[in-house]
């Protein structure tokens, strides 16, 4: 069985597959990156090479090698390989693979690998459909996802699979992959007379942002362009700039990246680092994040982390929210930047959140929910005094300095303190 016919390049009446597909490694020697998982002697590589039957999920960014590792696992273990995409597959497709796996298993004892690309897109029922056949060994499941499996994959399926985290490729890895494509005479451009200038290579590598597929797609487009212009031409940086137009932004506003970047922004603001805060703000804007989501995070930080140290921070955050509503993007980016810089530079005091959370904890967690003391109850309605409501209440403005000693907490709490005064901090940066 030819597991990966696309590697054969041209077939009768069929155009060659894209360069990124043709250049998929067929051995560990050709694989670049992810040394922490598939380097010599590393656990995942060992388990694959020793033909372990365990199922696993590969979690990582686009173009980092998830599909390649799955195909290598099938090739190295000589398994029957079936690949489906959760984008357009359903339970019916899974059942067909299961039926085939059962026939193959009985006839030859050959193991079947089911590779589900973007497994996070399967709903609960679709993920449940795989469970019994992973459990009984009918199939070995390999899933790939760019989203956090702890959130997107059901617990019962996670418990049957090991999860391995892939990282963005380093520039040296992307460069090696491109160089291989330029030199390979069978699957790449080794037979071409077109050269790639050094600065053009550098530009592709830096703008790929760790995505090998993106880098190879740009290279293929550049070579196609050069071939049309002049068979002996060289590809310059200018050509690459015309193809790329804009750098790839490592941001997925509907998934894990969305929350990771929001977390980075808030933590940078809390840590009083205006430069990092502006960077993460820019990253979210460049990624197409909803500015309303961004400004909500800014408002939360102004209230939670700056708090009483500089109450004006919340005023500025609210002004930025109004600017988002009235101006829209891209103009609102200025108001967002102003709020971010102000909040990052502002002194910090989270005593308000400590106080309210402590009180809520007493009420909701410890059951310390007591009625209002009679002298604090509303005494404006008829017969209130008859029941003692408002009796013995001391009106502070009738006393010196507008203060008077009296109990405001329920008697069961005594003189419990929720608000712990912090030392006065002077503003910084303004």
**pLDDT value, residue 250:** 57
| Residues 157 and 179 reside in one and the same domain | no
**pLDDT value, residue 2:** 46
- Kindly give, in sequence order, each residue whose CB lies less than 8 Å from that of residue 30, ignoring residues fewer than 6 positions away: 180
* Phi-psi label, residue 76: left if phi above 0, alpha if psi -120 to 50, beta otherwise: alpha
Spatial separation of the C-alpha atoms in residues 299 and 302, rounded to whole Å: 5
Domain boundary among 345, 361, 376: 345
Establish if 235 belongs to a structural domain.
Answer: yes
Establish if 249 belongs to a structural domain.
Answer: no
| Residues 205 and 322 reside in one and the same domain | no
**pLDDT value, residue 381:** 78
Question: How confident is the model over 215-250, as pLDDT tens digits?
Answer: 999 999 999 888 887 655 788 888 888 888 655 555
The CATH code of the domain that includes 237 is 1.10.8.60
**pLDDT value, residue 255:** 64
**pLDDT value, residue 67:** 94
Establish if 361 belongs to a structural domain.
Answer: no
Establish if 85 belongs to a structural domain.
Answer: yes
**pLDDT value, residue 247:** 53
The CATH code of the domain that includes 39 is 3.40.50.300
| Residues 44 and 151 reside in one and the same domain | yes
| Residues 106 and 208 reside in one and the same domain | no
The CATH code of the domain that includes 309 is 1.20.272.10
Angle at 429 between CA 426 and CA 430, to 5 degrees: 85
Give the CA count within 13 Å in the CB-facing half-sphere of 355. Answer: 15
Torsion from C-alpha of 294, 296, 298, 299, nearest 10 degrees: 170
| Residues 151 and 205 reside in one and the same domain | no
pTM listed for this prediction:
0.65
| Residues 238 and 293 reside in one and the same domain | no
In angstroms, what CA-CA distances link 347 with 75, 280, 317, 424? 58, 20, 15, 10
Domain boundary among 150, 165, 180: 165
Establish if 221 belongs to a structural domain.
Answer: yes
Angle at 369 between CA 367 and CA 371, to 5 degrees: 155
Q: Determine the 3-state secondary structure of 94 from DSSP.
A: helix
**Can you give 366-385 as a three-state secondary structure string?**
CCCCCCCCHHHCCCCCCCCH
Question: How confident is the model over 32-50, as pLDDT tens digits?
Answer: 999 999 999 998 999 888 8
Report residue 203 as tokens.
């530009």
**pLDDT value, residue 87:** 87
| Residues 158 and 75 reside in one and the same domain | yes
| Residues 179 and 157 reside in one and the same domain | no
Counting as low any pLDDT under 50, the low residues of the chain are 1-2, 5-11, 426, 428-430
Pick from 60, 37, 57: nearest CA to 250: 60
Q: Which domain holds residue 190?
A: 171-244
Pick from 181, 179, 149: nearest CA to 165: 149
Establish if 4 belongs to a structural domain.
Answer: no
Torsion from C-alpha of 287, 293, 295, 297, nearest 10 degrees: -100
**pLDDT value, residue 235:** 87
Q: How many domains does the chain have?
A: 3
Domain boundary among 345, 368, 389: 345
């Amino acid at each position: 069985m030819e597991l990966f016919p696309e590697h054969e390049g041209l077939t009768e009446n069929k155009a060659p597959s894209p360069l990124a597909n043709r250049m998929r490694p067929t051995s560990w020697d050709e694989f670049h990156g992810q040394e922490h998982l598939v380097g010599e002697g590393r656990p995942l590589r060992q388990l694959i090479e020793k033909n372990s039957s365990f199922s696993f999920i590969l979690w990582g960014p686009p173009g980092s090698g998830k599909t390649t590792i799955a195909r290598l696992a099938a090739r190295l273990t000589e398994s029957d390989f079936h690949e489906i995409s959760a984008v357009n597959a359903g339970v019916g497709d899974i059942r067909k693979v299961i039926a085939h796996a059962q026939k193959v298993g009985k006839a030859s004892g050959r193991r079947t690998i089911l590779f589900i690309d973007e497994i996070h897109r399967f709903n609960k029922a679709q993920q449940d459909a795989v469970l019994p056949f992973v459990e009984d060994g009918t199939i070995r499941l390999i899933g790939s996802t760019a989203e956090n499996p702890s959130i997107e994959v059901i617990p019962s399926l996670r418990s049957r699979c090991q999860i391995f985290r892939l990282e963005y490729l380093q520039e040296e890895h992307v460069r090696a992959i491109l160089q291989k494509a330029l030199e390979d005479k069978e699957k790449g451009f080794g037979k071409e007379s077109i050269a790639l200038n050094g600065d053009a290579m550098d530009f592709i590598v830096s703008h790929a942002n760790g995505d090998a597929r993106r880098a190879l797609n740009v290279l293929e487009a550049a070579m196609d362009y050069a071939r049309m212009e002049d068979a002996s031409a060289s590809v310059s940086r200018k050509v690459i700039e015309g193809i790329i137009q804009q750098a790839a932004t490592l941001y997925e506003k509907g998934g894990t990246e969305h929350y990771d970047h929001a977390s980075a922004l808030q933590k940078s603001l809390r840590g009083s680092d205006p430069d990092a805060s502006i960077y993460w703000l820019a990253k979210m804007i460049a990624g197409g994040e909803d500015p309303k989501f961004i400004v909500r995070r800014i408002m939360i930080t102004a209230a939670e982390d700056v708090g009483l140290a500089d109450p004006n921070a919340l005023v500025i955050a609210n002004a930025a929210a109004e600017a988002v509503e009235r101006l829209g993007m891209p103009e609102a980016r200025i108001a967002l930047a102003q709020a971010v810089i102000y909040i990052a530079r502002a002194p910090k005091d989270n005593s308000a959140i400590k106080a309210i959370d402590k009180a809520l904890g007493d009420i909701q967690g410890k059951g310390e929910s007591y009625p209002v003391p009679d002298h604090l109850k509303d005494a404006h309605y008829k017969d209130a005094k008859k029941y003692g409501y408002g009796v013995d209440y001391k009106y502070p403005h009738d006393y010196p300095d507008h203060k008077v000693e009296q109990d405001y907490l329920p008697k069961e709490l005594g003189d419990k303190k929720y608000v712990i005064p912090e030392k006065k901090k002077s503003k910084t940066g303004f």
